[in-house]
Structure formats: C-alpha cells, structure tokens
Amino acid sequence: MLTKILLPHKFQMIGWILFFPLAILLVLNGFYDYEINWLTWNNFRSGDILNSSNENFTNEISIVGTFLSLFFIAFSKEKQEDEYIQKIRLDSLLIAFYVYGLLTVFGTLVFYSVGYLEFMGFNMFSIQLVFIIRFRWVMYRQQETLTLI
C-alpha cells in the first residue's frame, strides 16, 4: 500500500527552486537586517501612537517561504515510491525528531533571552533539514550500492 498523503513529485522541484533564494533572504534578514522595500506597508497597524505604523514583511515572507519550501522537498513523492522508501522516510523522520529534541534541550540550557528566541526561530527548520539530509543521504547510498551490484 502506497502512501496517499505525500505531495506529488513536482512539488519537490518547486521546493528546491524556492529554498535557496528564500533561505538566503532569511539569513540576510536575520543577521544583517536586510529588508525588501516594496514589502513595507504603511499604516498597517493603526491606533498605536508609540510604535511606527510601517510594517515590513521580509521576515515573515522568508520564514514562511523557507518552511514551505522545505516542506515541499521533504514531503513530496519520489519518482518511484515503494515500501522501502517509506521505511527510509520513517527512519529519517525518527532521527530528525531525535536531533530536534537534543538541539532543543541544548538550546534551552545554553541560550537566554533574545538569543534563545533567535535559536528557537532557526531551530524550527532543523526537523525538516535533518530529515532531508538523512533521507537524501540514504537514498544516494542505496542507489550507489544498487549500481555497483
């Protein structure tokens, strides 16, 4: 029985195409406060006298876009989807959750205040990144093994 909850295979390519520019935008926005001017909306919030009413959505676009692109990459079907690939997916997902748990515990013990918030912001991508890296690595190794036989 094949899974029916995975996205179609074409979403994987869409995810890869979107991932690199959005991840670069996320890093530039997070570390260098880069903002795209046309994403600024004037008078977005009204009624607050103490704060500026201009809101730039570069951060939101980069976070949501990076998350969705990683989601597309991680949870789209392979060209040939079978039970063995499902097992590799499940094993990779389990390892990704272990790594996420360890990173969360480590970050909770090491980081404080705003640093902790920044760490958790970037840590939300660790499950998908570890899953993709581990899944692709096992698939590559499996393909290499099958080619040698």
CA dist., res. 42 & res. 13, Å (int) = 35
Q: What is the mean pLDDT of residues 84-109?
A: 95
pLDDT category of residue 43 using cuts at 50, 70 and 90: low
The residue extents of the domains of the chain are: 10-76, 79-149
- 47 pLDDT more than 60: no
Q: Are 32 and 124 within 8 A, CB to CB?
A: no
Q: Can you name the residues that pair with 40 across neighbouring β-strands?
A: 56
Q: Are 29 and 58 within 8 A, CB to CB?
A: yes
CA dist., res. 99 & res. 66, Å (int) = 20
- 2 pLDDT more than 70: no
**Number of C-beta neighbours around residue 69 at 10 A:** 22
